[in-house]
Amino acid sequence: MAWASFAKLNAASSQWIGQQSFTQRTGSSSSTRFATRRVSVPIRAGAYTEELVKTAKTIASPGRGILAIDESNATCGKRLASIGLDNTETNRQAYRQLLLTTPGLGDYISGAILFEETLYQSTTDGKKFVDCLREENIVPGIKVDKGLVPLPGSNNESWCQGLDGLASRSTEYYKQGARFAKWRTVVSIPCGPSALAVKEAAWGLARYAAISQDNGLVPIVEPEILLDGDHPIERTLEVAEKVWSEVFFYLAENNVVLEGILLKPSMVTPGAEHKEKASPETIAKYTLTMLKRRVPPAVPGIMFLSGGQSEVEATLNLNAMNQAPNPWHVSFSYARALQNTVLKTWQGRPENTEAAQKSLLVRAKANSLAQLGKYSAEGESEEAKKGMFVKGYTY
């Protein structure tokens, strides 16, 4: 398995920096003579290791999860258009200010993933958004990938670009106050997935994770298995196990410190077009089966994406997964499942800001309770129960 890659059984590997070597003797039944061979064990101890572990633990703290507001300007524009607003920097800033200045948000939210524009923005009063987050004990994060493009040689699949220049960009993001990063790539079940696409996704995530850690950012590792398709939940589990085995193999190959990462997986569900819906209990069973088979307990936090589920569905499924103790902090990193009602309450009107912020707190608190296994859907609005799946969704 992946962990075998930590032991490099050749003398050349002993030239790696930061490794300790020892000799291993091999005996023979016909001789008392010993042959020696060099065994090198990599020791990963970067300048930021202690800080990375601390940051990851802070984000994976009881009753809290991640608010994802890292939509590209184009996707944010689609959200604004749904309430009749133009896609201008002023309007994007106003909406993100509403979210990031919500009083008491830090009671339920431990980290916020920002788009690059937002990381460098301030409130209309001149206060940096990263400082607004810090005052609420929320860790600022940054989306670092450059989006999906077609993968040549695959079955109409994609790969994620953005490794070029990532180290220098990460250095600047750290200086601006970011302490964790996010890189999203996707795997499509209707497209196979092909072995090429799975390997490309896993390798890209591992390289990104290693570069992020070298520059002080906790990497969120996110190979999203898309909901598109009419396949049963058993097929999703099969693909998820394959994807995650590849991901952890290459994380080990790149000497990534597992105590200093977070995962952002999809929940194991049937395809969105499957004839039968799965209950929260079934989704929890299959998802936890996948995690227990593939994810080492050294990983501090599993921060699930909502993937087009309704606000209530995402919360119910998370709650079901926390009905018994887990080796990891099992929580949320939601975008639409935290923002949908907020946006519709706000409508771009300043007089609705307070009501919109209260609706954000309602959703954040619901998911906080779900992380603790104490959520009930009683009293949820009909709007919160509406699904948000979009076939072929991009952002």
Which of the residues are catalytic? 222, 264
152's tokens: 């040549």
Q: Which amino acid type is present at position 357?
A: Q
Handedness of CA 49, 50, 55, 57 (dihedral sign): positive
Cα separation, 125 vs 136, whole angstroms: 18
Q: Between 233-253 and 280-294, two packed helices, what is the crossing angle to 10 degrees?
A: 30
HEC sequence for 212-223: HHHCCCEEEEEE
Q: Which of 213, 180, 163 is nearest to 45 (CA)?
A: 213
Burial of 128 (0-12, 13-18, 19+ CB in 10 A): middle
| Strand 148-150 to 158-160 pairing | antiparallel
Cα separation, 73 vs 220, whole angstroms: 21
| Run of H or E including 371 | helix 353-371
| Run of H or E including 149 | strand 148-150
Q: Which are the contacts of 210, defined by CB distance < 8 A and separation ≥ 6?
A: 254, 255, 256
